[in-house]
Amino acid sequence: MYKQCFQRKSVRQYMEEPLAAEMLMKVDRIVKKVGLLYNHIPMRIELVENGEKIHAVMSGFLGSYGKIKAPHYLAVISETKEGYHENVGFAVEEAVLKLTELGIGTCWIGGFFDRKLIQNVVEIKKDEKVVVLVAFGKEKRGIWGEGLRTFAGFAKRKKIEEFAFWNDLNGSVVEYMEKHPEWKSIMEAVRVAPSAVNLQPWRFIFREGRIDIYAKSGVSPKISEDSCLYRIDVGIAMQHLSIGCLEEGIEGFFERLACEVFPGHVYISSYVIRR
């Protein structure tokens, strides 16, 4: 999926026609098989074949985000145990990249849908929540679709040294990346990960034998603190990190350690490298 990390982009304009039944079956198989970050937090991805049902629960134009009218959606439902946001980010991004491989356009939708009304579309149990939606379908290519993306500046990304550090949140990673080009290509895959309002809130502190992963929290008035979209973003970046490591033959695993806490940042997990 390394290649798909770079091919994926948010698609906001879709052809009205639905995907072929065979393709929808493939999507269904993909979403049923995604791997979780935390196996103890049950979550599922439901395919909403009839997109019209979702259009009815999406609220109007807000900021640079409009209604995204797609023929189909994925509804991501999870139990709300500690860590469920990054669990969702990690798992759903696997599906998004596999749909990209099939030539299907996708867009994460974190806000502006009525979280109560959506219960009329998908069934959810008492301790569950619809966390996010993913619009998907055939991309409507043309001046307007592409133009909108460029105009809103959505595709811009931070430089690696703006989100990755050596030993401390101030330590420069430049020299380390020069000495370890494999980590540079891994971080390039992380760099292009999607995030809500393109905030790229993930922070990586490289240390001897591990990388500590943090979320910069409360970074935008556009995102309410309690929606915790930044934790979803970090889960997505962790998926890109693990894909990059696989590509470079670096083995490791995620583990929550007793790491230093920095003001304005939430510690999420560490990637421990197997020697």
Ligand X SMILES: Cc1cc2nc3c(=O)[nH]c(=O)nc-3n(C[C@H](O)[C@H](O)[C@H](O)COP(=O)(O)O)c2cc1C
Residues lying near ligand X in the complex (CB under 6 A) are found at 9-10, 12, 65, 68, 107-112, 132, 154-155, 194-198, 229, 232-233, 236
Quote the tokens at residue 236: 């997505």
- Nearest distance in Å: CB 111, ligand X: 5
Name the residue nearer to ligand X (CB basis): 73 or 183.
73
Shortest Å, Cβ 155 to ligand X: 5
What is the number of other CB atoms lying within 10 angstroms of the CB of residue 258?
7
Minimum CB distance to ligand X, residue 229 (Å) = 5
Question: What are the b/e assignments for 108-129, b being 16+ CB within 10 Å?
Answer: bbbbbbeeeebeebbebeeebb
Q: Which is nearer to ligand X, 11 or 245 (CB)?
A: 11
Tokens representing 40? 């103890």
115, 130 in Cβ contact below 8 A?
yes
Q: Of 122 and 193, which has the nearer Cβ to ligand X?
A: 193
**Closer CB to ligand X, 206 or 230, in the complex:** 230
Nearest to 135 by CA among 200, 215, 57: 57
Q: How far apart are the first and last CA of the chain?
A: 24
Q: Which amino acid is at 258?
A: A
Taking CA atoms, 103 is separated from 70, 92, 136, 143, 182, in Å, by: 15, 17, 11, 19, 28
Supply the minimum distance, in Å, between the C-beta of residue 269 and ligand X. 18
Those residues whose C-beta lies under 8 Å from the C-beta of residue 115, and which sit 6 or more positions away, are: 129, 130
What is residue 10's three-state secondary structure?
A: strand
CB of residue 153 vs ligand X: minimum separation in angstroms? Answer: 8
CB closer to ligand X out of 150 and 172: 150
Q: Which is nearer to ligand X, 193 or 252 (CB)?
A: 193
Instruction: State the nearest-atom distance from the C-beta of 84 to ligand X, in Å.
Output: 13
Q: Which residue has tokens 């860590």?
A: 83
